[in-house]
Structure 1
Amino acid sequence: MNKGSDMKAIVFSAYYEPEVAASLYLSTNLYEDMAGSGIDVDLFVPLPTRGVSDEVRNKYKNHKVEVRCNGRLRIHRIGIPKEGKSVIGRAARYILMNAVFILKSISSKADVIFVQSTPPTQGATAAIIKKVMHIPFVYNLQDVFPDSLVGTGIAKKGSAVYRMGRVIENFTYRNADKIIVISNDMKTNIMTKGVPESKIEIVNNWIDGNVVKPIPKDQNYMYEKFGLSRENFNVVYAGNLGYAQNIEVIIKAAEVLKDCSDIKFLIFGKGAQEEEYKNMAAELNLCNLSFFPIQPYSEVSYVYSLGDVSIVPCKKGFGSSAMPSKTWSIMAAGTPVLASFDSDTDMEKLINSQKVGMFNHAEDWEGLSSNIKYLYSNREYLQEYGRNARKYVEENISREKCVGKYIMCIKNSKNIN
């Protein structure tokens, strides 16, 4: 342990920079700020695979330990196979990764284990290590498993996969000393499964308002980069093109509005259903919808500032087990949010109470297209919603405030018997 260190933490992560993955900035911010607060962090992560070239991956093969933050953050790169698109292959890779994490951890000395919930097996892995090492375990729940599998249609409630997921979930919750969730909906969800309220802490995902901010149209180079017109009304989606996101609702809304020649749908992303969505748009001959490569986090301000509005969609039944952090990025860019989401969720309450955009029920593409058309015709609301969004982020979702709560939970775990 470094001189002046408060404690040492073992941390696992499935992804880390320089990879390109949704909300990866949260991990980068958190681990750097943990180190800055006096915690020695041993971060174990696989060699980079998502969104990086073989050249970059090979570079990290030769630099398996990286030291940052004045020696307080040590990043250990684990050599396992690259990630593929097969669900079974990815699951096998996660299991191998967690097995390596166990072997690496039990030979280390630490005061606390901290892991996030992607993949869900990481929680169970940390619980095993806790039992071996007799140290506290702090768990960050970013989405609720196996509920998320049901919400996306991957598994049915009561199926063998679901039952196995519940076993993993219960084992994780039972052994975690503190569970940090990102919304009230998640807190309610896991309390109904028997988790005591005293074990749960709500901390929103954050956004660094100094990094993500509004970019005026005349200063946004992406119009030129992608050949876009500043005269059009742009509807932006950026992120994963997978099962949970339900990009189909955007494509169907674009079909409804295809005769409005200056309303354009811009989709930045990649994922398991990317080709399926591209084929769907092509079959519908949608000239008003375009797909672009996912952009690095450094370009988020430019991407969301392209949008007169930006969409946060989800599959029906998924909203109570997730709160997409892209919401905060959109709001930090001063862009109104169009949420196509489950009703009676934190998302609906946020949109309606803070007046930061418009809401429609999940999978209701007619409602989504109606909201787009309304804002297209009543543009005075764009500035109002955008100002409200930016103000809310500055006052409630700052990096300093939210990460500070994480650090306090982790440091206080030393006092858990």
Structure 2
Amino acid sequence: MKVIFLALAFPKMDRNKYLYSQLVSQFHDNGHDITVVAPAYDETLTGLQIEEGVKVIRVKTLPLFGVGLIKKGIANILLPYQYKNALKKHDVGLDFDLIMTPTPPISLYGVAAWLKNKSKGKLYLILRDIFPQNAVDLGMLKKSGPIHFYFRRKEKKLYNTSDQIGCMSEGNIDFVKKHNPELDASKLHMLPNWGDIVPPAETSKIDELRKKEGFENKFIVIFGGNIGLPQKMENIVNLALACKAQKDILFLIMGKGNESENLQNLITEKKPENLQLRDGLPQKEYMLWVQMADVGLISLSEKFTIPNIPSKALSYYNTKTPILASIDRNTDFGKILDELNVGVWAEAGNTAALKEKLMLLYKNDQLRREMGQNGFNYMKEHLSANIAFNTIIEKTS
């Protein structure tokens, strides 16, 4: 097939393999002619690039990350026009059999619908963020206001125009059905987050890292990735403060985001001596740190009404690291943790309950090993990029 993938975040394929680059590689490796359209991260590298054999059109855009809401909103609204111009400029034939786009952002609806109309190909939506409701939950948008109305209209159009919609969980499917009763529900199906197994580092490398960092006798609880409102980092800081009597427990937060400065200010104010804030690392290095950790942290804001399934769970599954999750009551991620026996959880904002669940893991090495192995087995058997690829092919054939 001739395929196009419209991306918002797409690191250079030779630098960082993640969710979407792994999927794109599957299409390429299976003989499909795939083109990616994505923002340029370097102004000197715009236009058509060949990245590991894949055609990637890098488009100069306004800043999409690390900026205020107004600037980010304007950048997203301009995105479809910039993508259309790039496709026209590079004389890309628009005879696509398959058009794929993930959420976020919802603003790519315009170019996705345009491509579908031009090519008569099928549109496959990879539904990850349910926007604009997630922005309403976090107080970033006022419900029923003009901006919300604009994006909600785009959302409905995107669902209706899509031929198939891959959802992260059954909770996602139920939510979309409930809030979009006019939608043909037969489009909705499961497409869980996926990832290829990264081979573990040798034990000697883990020991070297622990020695280098002075962590030989520490019980490491790690959080890595985006630091933003959805992650409600206060929950992790409060947990660290609640665990100060356990001198060997150390909390590591690795990453950056719009809330990095606020998190640093909170740490400066509260002074949790058992918590360290570090910059994010390239994937290969980061996976070494996760493998070193005893527990992997997930944190979601209790304000969410939509069922989020955090993709960072994949790195914990991969490294056989049991999960401790602070999550809202509307996600079905806790149910997934329980059914797979890969971790424990407490409702976000309940620090006492979260500490109790951490102590369960802290005191039981056998339980940690069992949960870690369960997560690894589940990822290996059900969450590979090849399985995601085959699901999309099956649904669009």
TM over 0.5, shorter chain: yes
Q: Which of 136, 139, 147 matches 1:150?
A: 136
Match of 1:280 in 2: 266
Match of 1:241 in 2: 227
Q: Which of 55, 58, 80 matches 1:74?
A: 55
Deviation at 1:301, TM superposition (A): 2.4
Distance 2:13 2:211 in 1: 26
Give the secondary structure class of the aligned counterpart of 2:302.
Answer: coil
**1:34-113, aligned counterparts within 5 Å?**
34-48=27-41, 57-61=42-46, 64-68=47-51, 70=53, 73-83=54-64, 84-105=66-87, 108-109=93-94, 110-113=96-99
Give the secondary structure class of the aligned counterpart of 1:265.
Answer: strand
* Residues 1:212 and 1:218: Cα distance change in structure 2 (over 3 Å): closer
8 A Cα contact 2:77 2:107, kept in partner: yes
**1:134-283, aligned counterparts within 5 Å?**
134-192=120-178, 193-194=180-181, 195-209=183-197, 211=198, 213=200, 216=203, 219-224=206-211, 227-283=213-269
Instruction: For residues 306-363 of structure 1, give each alpha carbon's deviation from its aligned partner in whole angstroms, at most 9, with x where no partner exists.
Output: 2211111111243734211111211111000011112364311121122111110122
**Given residue 366 of structure 1, which amino acid in structure 2 is its aligned partner?**
A
Q: Which runs of 5+ in 1 are unaligned?
A: 1-6, 49-56, 413-417
8 A Cα contact 2:37 2:83, kept in partner: yes
Q: Which of 332, 336, 342 matches 1:346?
A: 332
Distance 2:137 2:292 in 1: 30
* Residues 1:218 and 1:241: Cα distance change in structure 2 (over 3 Å): same
Match of 1:4 in 2: none
Match of 1:32 in 2: 25
* Residues 1:19 and 1:270: Cα distance change in structure 2 (over 3 Å): farther
Give the secondary structure class of the aligned counterpart of 2:287.
Answer: helix
Distance 1:220 1:151 in 2: 42
Deviation at 1:219, TM superposition (A): 2.9
* Residues 1:58 and 1:130: Cα distance change in structure 2 (over 3 Å): closer
Deviation at 1:24, TM superposition (A): 6.4
Give the secondary structure class of the aligned counterpart of 2:143.
Answer: coil
* Residues 1:143 and 1:294: Cα distance change in structure 2 (over 3 Å): same
Distance 2:173 2:204 in 1: 40
Deviation at 1:212, TM superposition (A): 5.4
**Given residue 101 of structure 2, which amino acid in structure 1 is its aligned partner?**
V
8 A Cα contact 2:222 2:251, kept in partner: yes
8 A Cα contact 1:214 1:332, kept in partner: no
**Given residue 70 of structure 2, which amino acid in structure 1 is its aligned partner?**
I
8 A Cα contact 2:228 2:257, kept in partner: yes
Alignment pair present for 1:333 and 2:319: yes
Percent identity, aligned pairs only? 25
* Residues 1:20 and 1:248: Cα distance change in structure 2 (over 3 Å): farther
8 A Cα contact 1:215 1:302, kept in partner: no
**Given residue 60 of structure 1, which amino acid in structure 2 is its aligned partner?**
L
8 A Cα contact 2:99 2:122, kept in partner: yes
TM-score, normalised on structure 2?
Answer: 0.91
Distance 1:132 1:374 in 2: 57
Deviation at 1:251, TM superposition (A): 0.5
**Given residue 12 of structure 2, which amino acid in structure 1 is its aligned partner?**
P
Distance 1:169 1:281 in 2: 38
Distance 1:204 1:251 in 2: 30
Alignment pair present for 1:131 and 2:117: yes
TM-score, normalised on structure 1?
Answer: 0.86
Deviates more, 1:304-313 or 1:342-351: 342-351
**Given residue 292 of structure 1, which amino acid in structure 2 is its aligned partner?**
R
Deviation at 1:26, TM superposition (A): 1.0
* Residues 1:398 and 1:134: Cα distance change in structure 2 (over 3 Å): closer
* Residues 1:166 and 1:308: Cα distance change in structure 2 (over 3 Å): same
Deviation at 1:224, TM superposition (A): 4.8
* Residues 1:79 and 1:358: Cα distance change in structure 2 (over 3 Å): same
**Number of equivalent positions:** 390
Q: Which runs of 5+ in 2 are unaligned?
A: none
Match of 2:391 in 1: 405
Match of 2:6 in 1: 12
8 A Cα contact 1:213 1:334, kept in partner: no
Distance 1:129 1:88 in 2: 28
